[in-house]
C-alpha cells in the first residue's frame, strides 16, 4: 500500500476539502493551476497592483473596487450553480440584472418598494423555471436556451421602457442602501460576502447542492439513483436567477438609476470569475467560495486597467483572453484526470 | 538486446519466428504516485498468440496502451521489428504496425460500417473522401476476419458482438504486424466467443502477432501459445501454455492459494411471497414478458447479448420508457404500482446498471459522495446533510463491501473495476433494498472481487430481498440463481430451476435450439 501524504489544508468548504484530500500525485502544472492556481495568482495580482499601479492602494479605490465587484459577484455566485450542474452558463443574467434593476426603481417609484421586490422575485422565479424546464426537462442546450431568454427578456424590457433611464427619489430607501456603510465597508460589499457564504452553504451542506454537484458529475448515474433531475436543473437556474435579481438590486441602488443597458457584459464577466476561480465548465467540480476569489481577481484586473488608462475595448479583450486561458487550463486538468 | 528475455524454441508446425516482432523492455508507468506498471518486459513473436492475464488493476491495459503508443512510459522502451518506437505517439505505433482493439468500444455510432473501419485513415482523392477505395479496404478487412455485414449499416444498428468484429476489422484494415485485443469477449456469448477465437487463430496462422488480454482462463488455454501473468503492475511469469495449468495461472494471478470455486448454490433458500411482479411488459425489444421474483429468491435472466434482458428490467422498473404492461411491488401486504423509475426506487427497488462507469457512478466524485447520493434523504434533516453521519455511513458501507483501500474521500474513478462495482453495491445496500436488480454484476471484475460480490448477493437474498440478476456469464448465472428465465428475442422462452440447469440447457434455449416448455 502506498503512503498517502495529505496536502496542507487550505480552509475551504467540504467540496474543496475533498479535492485536497486526494492522495498526493506527481506534480502536474495544469491540474495545480486549475485547482490551486487562483490563490497564488490573485495574491500576485494584488501585490503587483499595490507596488506598481498608482492609486490602487488607497481606501477610496479599494472601496470602489468592492462596490463594483459586489453586483457582479452576487450574480456569479448564483450562476456557479448552473456551471457546476454541467450546463455551462446562464447568459440570461444580462436580461435578468437589468430587469431587476429597472423593476426595483421604476415599480417602487409608482407602487412602493415592497411591490417592486415582489414583482422582481416573481420575475426571477419565472426565469429560473423557464430556463430550468427547457434545459433540465426538455434537455435543450443551455447556451442556446439562455441566449434566447436573454433576447426575450431584454427585448421585452426595451419595448416596455423604450430605453428610458429611471431615477429613484433622492431620499428613498434604495439610495440609502446604495450609499450605506458598515463601518468602513460599503453595505453592498457586506451583502456580497453574506450571499456568497449563504450560497456556499447551500451548495455544500444541503441535499439540493449535493444533487447539483452529483448531476454535474454524471447525469445518468444521478437519475438512476432516484433523483428528480428536472427539479435539480430548475433549482440551479433559480439560484442563478435569484443571484441575478440581487445583483440587479445592488447595481441599481449603487447609482440610484436603472436602464435596460445597465448590465452589458455581466454574462461573460460572471463566467470569467467562475472559471478563473477554478470551477470546472465540465460540471461536478467547484465552489461558490472559489467564485468569490475569481470575482476579486477579475475586479482587481479591471481596476488596474482602468487606473492605467486602458479603455473598455482593452478590458473586453482581457476578459475574453482570460476565459480562453481558464477554460483551456480546465480542459487540460481534466485530461490529466481522465488518463 | 534480448538477453533478459526467455526465448523458447519453436514448436514444430508453427510459423513463429525466433525474433520477437514487438518487445518492451523495463516498462515503468506511474499515474501520479501510483505505479501501474513496474519494470515489465514482454516480447511477442510473429504468428504467436500471447495471452496476458492478471486481476483488475494488475496493469495489463496500461502496459498495452504503452505498447500501442497511447501512453508514454516513465521508463523503458518499446521496439517493433527492432526499431525503437516513439513513446506516446499513437500514429507512429500504428505506422509501425501495432493496432490496439480497445476495451471500450471506440466506434462512431452514427457512421456506417465502412466509414468506421477507415476512421482516422480515410482514403482521399483530390481532398475528397474516396468512397470506392474506402469500401474496397473495408471489404478486404471484413473478408480477412471472415465476417459479413452491410457496409452501409450505421454502427448504432449493429449488435454488440458485430460492433466488436467491426472494431477488429478496423484494426486489421491498417495491416498491422501486432494486434492487441483487450478483453474482446467480455460482452460476447459463447458462440460468438468461439467464432472470435477461431478468427484469431486464423490471423495468427498468417503470421500476425496477437496479444490477447482476457479474464477468462479457458480462452487463454484454447488459443494462446504463451501466457504472461502480471500482478500489482509486476511481471510474474511468462510460460509456454503446454507447460502450465489453469490452476497454476490463477495462482500466479492472485499470488495466493485461492479456493477458486465460487460458492455453490445456497443450501436451503427460504423463499417467501411474491414481491416483484411484472405482467405483459412491452418496450422496444421486449415482447409482453411476465416475471415474478419472491422474497429471498434469486432469479436469473439468461440469454444472448441483445436478447432484450437489459431492456426488460429497465422497462419494468421505469428506468426506460415502457409501451405496455405493468409492474408491482408487494411488501407487507401493500401492493404498489411502478409508475415511474422514482416510484420504483421509493418502493424499495435498487438497480445496479450494466454500465457502471456511465450509469452507475459519478467518477469524478468521492466514494462518500457516491454512497450518499441514493441515501441523501436519510442522511439529512430538513434538506441539510449531516456530515458526521454521512462519513460514518459511508465508512461502514465501504467496510461492508470490503472496499480496498477503504478511503471514502478518494475519487471513485481512481479505483479498479472491481472496487468501483463494490461502491455501486455499497450505495444501494445503504437503502436496505427489498428488491435488488443487478445487470452484469461482475463484468470486468477480477476473481477475488467477483467472489465477494457473489457473497453479498447471497447475503441479500438470505436476508429476504427479492433478487433479479442479469448475467451473460453462464457459470455465474448457474451458481447464483434459484430460478433461471431464458430470454430470446424479447420473450421468456423457458424457465429452469437453478439446481437442474446446466450450461447446455440454458444455451439450447437461448440460441433457439430448443423451443419453449410452456411459457
- pLDDT tens-digit series, residues B366-386: 999 999 999 999 999 999 999
Q: Which chain B residue has the Cα nearest residue A214?
A: B362
Q: Where are any strands of DSSP class E within B390-517?
A: 435-439, 466-470, 483-488, 491-497
Using alpha carbons, list the distances in angstroms from residue B117 to B28, B138, B170, B363. 32, 6, 4, 30
Q: If DSSP codes are grouped into helix, strand and coil, which group holds residue A289? A: helix
Cis (ω within 30 of 0) for the bond into A261? no
Q: What does the pLDDT average to over B163-177? A: 90
Cα atoms in the Cβ-side hemisphere of radius 13 Å centred on B100: 24
Q: Which residues of B touch A222 (CB under 8 A)?
A: 362, 373
Looking at chain B, the whole-number percentage of residues with pLDDT higher than 70 is: 91
Q: Residue B437: count other Cβ atoms within 10 Å of its Cβ.
A: 27
Reduced to 3 states (helix: H, G, I; strand: E, B; else coil), residue B510 is helix
* Nearest residue, CB atoms, A206 vs list B345, B384, B427: B384
**Minimum Cα–Cα distance from A212: chain B residue:** B373
Identify which of B303, B225, B231, B262 has the alpha carbon closest to the alpha carbon of residue B472: B303
| Chain B CA closest to residue A208 | B383
Residue of A205, A224, A232 best to disrupt the B interface, most CBs of B under 10 A: A224
- Section B29-36 average pLDDT: 78
pLDDT at B515: 54
CA distance A24 to B150: 50
Tell me, what's the pLDDT at B126? 83
The reply to whether B378 touches chain A by the CB within 8 Å rule is: no
Closest by Cα among A96, A114, A104 to A175: A104
Query: How far is the C-alpha of B27 from the C-alpha of B229, rounded, in Å?
Result: 15
In a domain, A7, yes or no: no
Chain A interface disruption, residue of B310, B364, B369, B383, most A CBs within 10 A: B364
A213/B384 Cβ within 8 A: no
Q: Out of A221, A226, A337, whose CB is closest to B362?
A: A221
Q: What is the rounded distance in angstroms from the CA atom of residue A49 to the CA atom of residue B97?
A: 56
* pLDDT tens-place string over residues B424-476: 999 999 999 999 999 999 987 877 888 889 999 999 999 999 999 999 888 88
More confident residue, A241 or B31: A241
Q: Is residue A266 part of a domain?
A: yes
> Helices marked H in B291-386 — which ranges?
309-316, 341-346, 367-375
Going by C-alpha positions, the residue among B75, B46, B52 that lies closest to residue B64 is B52
Is the residue at A13 inside a domain?
Answer: no
**Nearest-CB residue to A224 (from B353, B387, B414):** B353
The band of B21, judged by pLDDT with boundaries at 50, 70 and 90, is very high
The answer to whether residue B18 scores a pLDDT higher than 80 is no
How far is residue A288's CA from residue A77's CA, in Å, rounded to a whole number?
A: 6
- pLDDT at site B147: 85
Residue A15: inside a domain: no
**Is position A268 within any domain?**
yes
Q: Tens of pLDDT along B299-333?
A: 999 987 778 899 999 999 999 999 999 999 999 99
**How far apart are the C-alpha atoms of B489 and B504, rounded to whole Å?**
19
Which residue positions in chain A have pLDDT lower than 50?
1-25, 338-339
Q: How many CB atoms lie within 10 A of CB B254?
A: 16
Beta bridge partners of B79: B23, B84
From chain B residues 5-44, the ones with a CB under 8 A of any chain A CB are: 30-34
For B467-511, the pLDDT digits (tens) are 999 998 888 898 899 999 999 889 999 999 988 888 778 877 887
Taken as a whole, chain B contains a residue count of 519
CATH code, domain with A223: 1.10.3470
Instruction: Decide: pTM greater than 0.80.
Output: no
CA atoms in the 13 A half-sphere facing the CB of B513: 10
The pLDDT value given to residue B105 = 63
Domain extent, residue A88, equals 35-338
CA distance B90 to B70: 5
Interface of B with A in 422-441 (CB under 8 A): 427
What is the number of structural domains in chain A? 1
**CB contacts, 8 Å: B341 with chain A:** 223-224, 226
Q: Which residues of B fall within a CB distance of 8 Å from A217?
A: 362-365
**Cβ within 8 Å, pair A217-B374:** no
Geometric angle at alpha carbon B363, from B360 and B366, rounded to 5°: 110
CB contact under 8 A, A207 and B383: yes
CA atoms within 13 A on the CB side of A217: 27
B368, closest residue in chain A (CA to CA): A18
Cα distance between residue A162 and residue A149, in whole Å:
19
For B374, the closest of A18, A226, A228 (CB atoms) is A226
Which of B362, B377, B437 to mutate to test binding with chain A, by most A CBs within 10 Å of its CB? B362
What is the number of other CB atoms lying within 10 angstroms of the CB of residue A21? 17
Alpha-carbon distance values, A257 to A58, A101, A161, B229, B330 (Å): 27, 8, 13, 75, 63
Would you say B441 and B467 are in contact if contact means Cβ atoms under 8 Å apart?
Answer: no
The partner residue sitting opposite A214, judged by closest CB among B365, B384, B411, is B365
Which residues in A lie closer than 8 A to residue B377 (C-beta atoms)?
207
Q: Which of B352, B480, B431, B22 is nearest to B208 (CA)?
A: B22
* Interchain CB distance below 8 Å, A22 and B410: yes
Q: When comparing pLDDT for B259 and B489, which is higher? A: B489
Q: Which phi and psi angles does B107 have, rounded to 5°?
A: -90, 160
Using an 8 Å CB-CB cutoff, list chain A residues near B71.
339
Of A2, A217, A339, the CB nearest to B364: A217
List CB contacts of B391: < 8 A, sequence separation 6 or more. Answer: B368, B408
Which is higher by pLDDT, B267 or B413?
Answer: B413
Q: For chain A, say whether B468 makes contact (Cβ under 8 Å).
A: no
**Record: contact B385-A213, CB cut-off 8 A:** no
- pLDDT value of residue A288: 96
Instruction: Nearest chain B residue to A334 by CA: give it.
Output: B364
Chain A residues lying within 8 Å of B427, measured CB to CB: 225
Is there a contact between B376 and A210 if contact means CB atoms under 8 Å apart? Answer: yes
Contact A218 B362 (CB under 8 A): yes
Interface mutation target, options B365, B380, B381, B405, chain A, most CBs of A under 10 Å: B365
- More confident site: B123 or A243: A243
Is A315 contained in some domain?
yes
The three three-digit cell numbers of residue B411, written as one number: 475519487
Residue B381 sits at the chain A interface (C-beta within 8 Å): no
pLDDT of residue B183: 84
How many Å lie between the alpha carbon of A133 and the closest alpha carbon of chain B? 19
Closest chain A CA to residue B65: A339
CA distance A91 to chain B (A): 26
Distance in angstroms (rounded) separating the CA atoms of residues B88 and B439: 36
What stretches of B81-172 show up as alpha helix (H) in DSSP?
A: 90-96, 113-117, 131-145, 160-172
A/B interface, count of CB pairs below 8 Å: 105
B360 vs A: CB within 8 A: yes
Sheet strand arrangement including B286-294: B286-294, B274-283, B324-331, B334-337
Over residues B187-216, the pLDDT tens digits come to 777 788 888 999 999 999 999 999 999 877
Cα(B484)–Cα(B491) distance, rounded to whole angstroms?
13
The answer to whether residue A25 is domain-embedded is no
Chain A interface includes B363 (CB < 8 A): yes
Q: Which among A4, A207, A222 has CB closest to B362?
A: A222
Give the DSSP letter of residue A203.
H
Q: What is the mean pLDDT of chain B?
A: 87
- Kindly determine whether residue B362 and residue A337, on different chains, have CB atoms separated by under 8 Å: no
Residue A17 domain-assigned?
Answer: no
B232 compared with B369, residue with greater pLDDT: B369
> Is A23–B410 a contact, with Cβ atoms under 8 angstroms apart?
yes
Closest CB to A218 among B346, B361, B385: B361
pLDDT in tens, B67-90: 999 899 999 999 999 999 999 898
ipTM: 0.84
Contacts of A2 in chain B (CB under 8 A): 33-34
Return left, alpha or beta for A226; rule: phi > 0 is left, psi -120 to 50 is alpha, else beta.
Answer: left
Give residue B518's pLDDT band: very low, low, confident or very high (50, 70, 90). very low
Q: Is B409 on the interface with A (CB under 8 A)?
A: yes
d(CA B26, CA B42): 9
pLDDT tens digit string along A126-147? Answer: 999 999 999 999 999 999 999 9
Amino acid at each position: 500500500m502506498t503512503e498517502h501524504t495529505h496536502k496542507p489544508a487550505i480552509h475551504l468548504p467540504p467540496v474543496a476539502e475533498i479535492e485536497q484530500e486526494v492522495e498526493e500525485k506527481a506534480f502536474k502544472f495544469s491540474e495545480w493551476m486549475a485547482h490551486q492556481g487562483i490563490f497564488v495568482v490573485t495574491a500576485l495580482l494584488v501585490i503587483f497592483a499595490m507596488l506598481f499601479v498608482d492609486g490602487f492602494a488607497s481606501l477610496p479605490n479599494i472601496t470602489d473596487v468592492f462596490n463594483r465587484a459586489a453586483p457582479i459577484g452576487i450574480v456569479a455566485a448564483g450562476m456557479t450553480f448552473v456551471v457546476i450542474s454541467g450546463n455551462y452558463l446562464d447568459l440570461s443574467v444580462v436580461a435578468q440584472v437589468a430587469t431587476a434593476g429597472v423593476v426595483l426603481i421604476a415599480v417602487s417609484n409608482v407602487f412602493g418598494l415592497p411591490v417592486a421586490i415582489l414583482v422582481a422575485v416573481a420575475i426571477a422565479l419565472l426565469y429560473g423555471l423557464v430556463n430550468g424546464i427547457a434545459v433540465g426537462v426538455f434537455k435543450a442546450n443551455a447556451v442556446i436556451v439562455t441566449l434566447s431568454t436573454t433576447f426575450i427578456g431584454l427585448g421585452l424590457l426595451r419595448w416596455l421602457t423604450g430605453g428610458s433611464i429611471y431615477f429613484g427619489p433622492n431620499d428613498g430607501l434604495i439610495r440609502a442602501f446604495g450609499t450605506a456603510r458598515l463601518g468602513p465597508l460599503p453595505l453592498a460589499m457586506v451583502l456580497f460576502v453574506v450571499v456568497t457564504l449563504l450560497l456556499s452553504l447551500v451548495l455544500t451542506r444541503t441535499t439540493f447542492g449535493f444533487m447539483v454537484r452529483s448531476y454535474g458529475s454524471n447525469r445518468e448515474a444521478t437519475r438512476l439513483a432516484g433523483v428528480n433531475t428536472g427539479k435539480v436543473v430548475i433549482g440551479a437556474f433559480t439560484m442563478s436567477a435569484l443571484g441575478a435579481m440581487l445583483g440587479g438590486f445592488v447595481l441599481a441602488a449603487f447609482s440610484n438609476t436603472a436602464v435596460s443597458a445597465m448590465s452589458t457584459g455581466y454574462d461573460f464577466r460572471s463566467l470569467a470569475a467562475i472559471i478563473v476561480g477554478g470551477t470546472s465548465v465540465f460540471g461536478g467540480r467547484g465552489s461558490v467560495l472559489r467564485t468569490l476569489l475569481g470575482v476579486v481577481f477579475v475586479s482587481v484586473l479591471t481596476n488596474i486597467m482602468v487606473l492605467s488608462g486602458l479603455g473598455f475595448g482593452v478590458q473586453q479583450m482581457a476578459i475574453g483572453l482570460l476565459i480562453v486561458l481558464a477554460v483551456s487550463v480546465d480542459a487540460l486538468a481534466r485530461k490529466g484526470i481522465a488518463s | 538486446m534480448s538477453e533478459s528475455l526467455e526465448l523458447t524454441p519453436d514448436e514444430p508446425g508453427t510459423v513463429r519466428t525466433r525474433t520477437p516482432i514487438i518487445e518492451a523492455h523495463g516498462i515503468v508507468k506511474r499515474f501520479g504516485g501510483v505505479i501501474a506498471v513496474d519494470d515489465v518486459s514482454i516480447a511477442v513473436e510473429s504468428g504467436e498468440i500471447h495471452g496476458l492475464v492478471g486481476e483488475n488493476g494488475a496493469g495489463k491495459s496500461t502496459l498495452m496502451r504503452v505498447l500501442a503508443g497511447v501512453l508514454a512510459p516513465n521508463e523503458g522502451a518499446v521496439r517493433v521489428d527492432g526499431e525503437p518506437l516513439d513513446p506516446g505517439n499513437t500514429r507512429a505505433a500504428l505506422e509501425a504496425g501495432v493496432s490496439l482493439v480497445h476495451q471500450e468500444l471506440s466506434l462512431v455510432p452514427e457512421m456506417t460500417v465502412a466509414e468506421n473501419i477507415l476512421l482516422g485513415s480515410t482514403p482521399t482523392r483530390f481532398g475528397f473522401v474516396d468512397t470506392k477505395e474506402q469500401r474496397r479496404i473495408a471489404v478486404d478487412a471484413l473478408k480477412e476476419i471472415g465476417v459479413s455485414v452491410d457496409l452501409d449499416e450505421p454502427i448504432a444498428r449493429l449488435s454488440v458482438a458485430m460492433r466488436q468484429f467491426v472494431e477488429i476489422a478496423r484494426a486489421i484494415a491498417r495491416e498491422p504486424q501486432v494486434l492487441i485485443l483487450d478483453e474482446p469477449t467480455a460482452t460476447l456469448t459463447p458462440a460468438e466467443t468461439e467464432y472470435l477465437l477461431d478468427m484469431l487463430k486464423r490471423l495468427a496462422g498468417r503470421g500476425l502477432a496477437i496479444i490477447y488480454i482476457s479474464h477468462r482462463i479457458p480462452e487463454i488455454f484454447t488459443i494462446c501459445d504463451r501466457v504472461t501473468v502480471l500482478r500489482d503492475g509486476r511481471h510474474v511469469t511468462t510460460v509456454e501454455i503446454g507447460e502450465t495449468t489453469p490452476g497454476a495461472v490463477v495462482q500466479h494471478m492472485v499470488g495466493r492459494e485461492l479456493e477458486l470455486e465460487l460458492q455453490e448454490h445456497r443450501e436451503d433458500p427460504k423463499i417467501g411471497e411474491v414481491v416483484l411482479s411484472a405482467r405483459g411488459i412491452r418496450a422496444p425489444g421486449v415482447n409482453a414478458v411476465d416475471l415474478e421474483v419472491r422474497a429471498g429468491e434469486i432469479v436469473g435472466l439468461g440469454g444472448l447479448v441483445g436478447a432484450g434482458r437489459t431492456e426488460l428490467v429497465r422497462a419494468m422498473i421505469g428506468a426506460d420508457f415502457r409501451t405496455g404492461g405493468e409492474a408491482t411491488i408487494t411488501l407487507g401486504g401493500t401492493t404498489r404500482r411502478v409508475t415511474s423509475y422514482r416510484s420504483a426506487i421509493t418502493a424499495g427497488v435498487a438497480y445496479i446498471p450494466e454500465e457502471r462507469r456511465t450509469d452507475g457512478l459519478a467518477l469524478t466524485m468521492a466514494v462518500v459522495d457516491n454512497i450518499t447520493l441514493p441515501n441523501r434523504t436519510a442522511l439529512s434533516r430538513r434538506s441539510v446533510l449531516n456530515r458526521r453521519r454521512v462519513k460514518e455511513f459511508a465508512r461502514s458501507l465501504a467496510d461492508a463491501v470490503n472496499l480496498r483501500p477503504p478511503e471514502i474521500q478518494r475519487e471513485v474513478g481512481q479505483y479498479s473495476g472491481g472496487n468501483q462495482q463494490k461502491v455501486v453495491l455499497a450505495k444501494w445496500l445503504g437503502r436496505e433494498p427489498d428488491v435488488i436488480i443487478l445487470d452484469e454484476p461482475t463484468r470486468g471484475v477480477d476473481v477475488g472481487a467477483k467472489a465477494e460480490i457473489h457473497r453479498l448477493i447471497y447475503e441479500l437474498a438470505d436476508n429476504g430481498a427479492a433478487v433479479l440478476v442479469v448475467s451473460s456469464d453462464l457459470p455465474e448465472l448457474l451458481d447464483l440463481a434459484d430460478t433461471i428465465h431464458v430470454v430470446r428475442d424479447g420473450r421468456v422462452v423457458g424457465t429452469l430451476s437453478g439446481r437442474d440447469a446446466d450450461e447446455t440447457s440454458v444455451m439450447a434455449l437461448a440460441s433457439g435450439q430448443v423451443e419453449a416448455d410452456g411459457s
